[in-house]
Amino acid sequence: MQESQNNSIQATPQTREIGIQVDIYGSDRDTVETEEEPDDNLEESDSEMDDSDIEWSLSNDEDDEEMKPKNVSSISGDTKFIVYKSSLEQLLPSQCLLCGNPKQDTDFEWRVLGTVVHIQSTCNRCDCLWEWASQPFTGMMPWGNLVFAAAILFSGASPLKAINTLKFAGIQCFSNRTYFSLQQLYLVPAVEMKWLSILNHVIDVHEGHGDLYPRCLHGPLDDRDWIKQGSKAYVELEAVVKGKLLVNDIQKLSHIGQTSSLESFHKVVCTKAVHFFFKQMQARLFLAAMHFNENSSRQQSMTKDGNKQYAVSYPKGRGGEGVAKEVKVDQTFNYIADLMDAVVELRELNDSYTKARDAIDRHVQVPPPIAQSTPKPPKDVTIQRHTTHFN
């Protein structure tokens, strides 16, 4: 198939844009302090949910081989780019691929779904249809939506701030509602499965963790004393790892000792200054534990001359006196790549929202928020008290 381009004539082709997503937040979004919507809100509104922002199909066959990923790593590890629309327009076919009709006589339709753009052209002479999408699809979902949502959670970023960052830069992205759906159906389950695989590792079982984590990724281990399954130590560890009150357990650590490590642990992906609901709080604590276990014993960095490296800080409490601190080697994030692949595999296993919802364990009891432990006065009484106080 021969393609040609006329550099002497550059006319603007006829284009038509269809906005799938017009409001990044929706009409009734939550307050800034709350980074998550309750899970039951999504469950109760399944039939009324607007899936146009979540899943969307191309007009050609869903099973098109060009849209199918070749393997897991090609999805999570493939290099992505930020591209301007004007640059994409330069790559549009200069003529109809069937009859050679110039693109000036061709209608182009741009469709956006979250992070993906789909371009479709229709020749006005022969009605030839040409299509291109900026990402591969899994069923009716663009892979980029799932991968970016996973990156937000696994990096400990605020969903609101991450989406706002792209919005302010004019970069197309999905809505908060889409993020919450992806988090509930794919991201949190992947984190929980990874966390529960620890119970096998501590008893020297490094295979058979499940479909997502069939084996540990580490190499051969030296002989050591492993915990025996069924022992008192294992039962105690299992109670913590599988415990429904894990958040409360974390808060009870190290009351009389140095708590700087605990504070660092919290700040990794689950800062105490931002409100998250229980399941998302728990998933972020699991992530913090994985990150902490991988990086808490980092070695001290060395200079080119082989000397230990230090940095000097000047805290206010020391009156300007310098304090030497060890400079550690850079942090590693090896667990992130494993989690990314797990999310992709989970989507391939549950390739529709219906299957993903059915796979969620809804029998886990979520403790009620502390705010619900006290009776609430009627709204009109609270408003009257407020107006009376300031008037």
Chain segment 148-169, per-residue pLDDT in tens: 999 999 888 888 889 999 999 9
DSSP label of 366: P
Q: What is the mean pLDDT of residues 62-68?
A: 41
229 falls within a domain = no
Q: What is the mean pLDDT of residues 3-23?
A: 40
Q: Which of 116-130, 202-216, 294-308 has the weakest average pLDDT?
A: 202-216
Q: State yes or no: pLDDT of 96 exceeds 70.
A: yes
Give me the domain span that covers residue 66: 14-174
- Identify which of 31-35, 200-204, 318-322 has the greatest average pLDDT: 318-322
- Res 180: pLDDT: 92
- Res 179: pLDDT: 94
- Res 114: pLDDT: 93
333 falls in which pLDDT band (50, 70, 90)? confident
Contact 53, 20 (CB under 8 A): yes
Residue length of the chain: 391
Long-range contacts, 352-356 (Cβ 8 Å, 24+): 352/139, 353/51, 353/54, 353/55, 353/181, 353/185, 356/185, 356/186
Q: What percent of the chain has pLDDT over 90?
A: 20
pLDDT tens sequence across 375-390: 888 888 888 888 876 6
324 DSSP β-pair partners: 312
360 falls in which pLDDT band (50, 70, 90)? confident
Amino acid at 62: E
Neighbours of 328 (CB within 10 A): 13
pLDDT, greater one: 229 or 245 = 229
- Res 172: pLDDT: 94
182 falls within a domain = no
382 falls within a domain = no
Residue corresponding to tokens 């849209």: 67
Q: State yes or no: pLDDT of 246 exceeds 50.
A: yes
Contact 121, 93 (CB under 8 A): yes
Q: State yes or no: pLDDT of 81 exceeds 50.
A: yes
144 falls within a domain = yes
DSSP label of 338: H
218 falls within a domain = no
44 falls within a domain = yes
- Domain total for the chain? 1
343 falls within a domain = no
Rounded Cα gap, residues 28 and 32, in angstroms: 12
- The secondary structure element, H or E, covering residue 165 is helix 159-168
pLDDT tens sequence across 176-191: 999 999 999 999 888 8
323 falls within a domain = no
- Res 364: pLDDT: 63
Rounded Cα gap, residues 174 and 144, in angstroms: 10
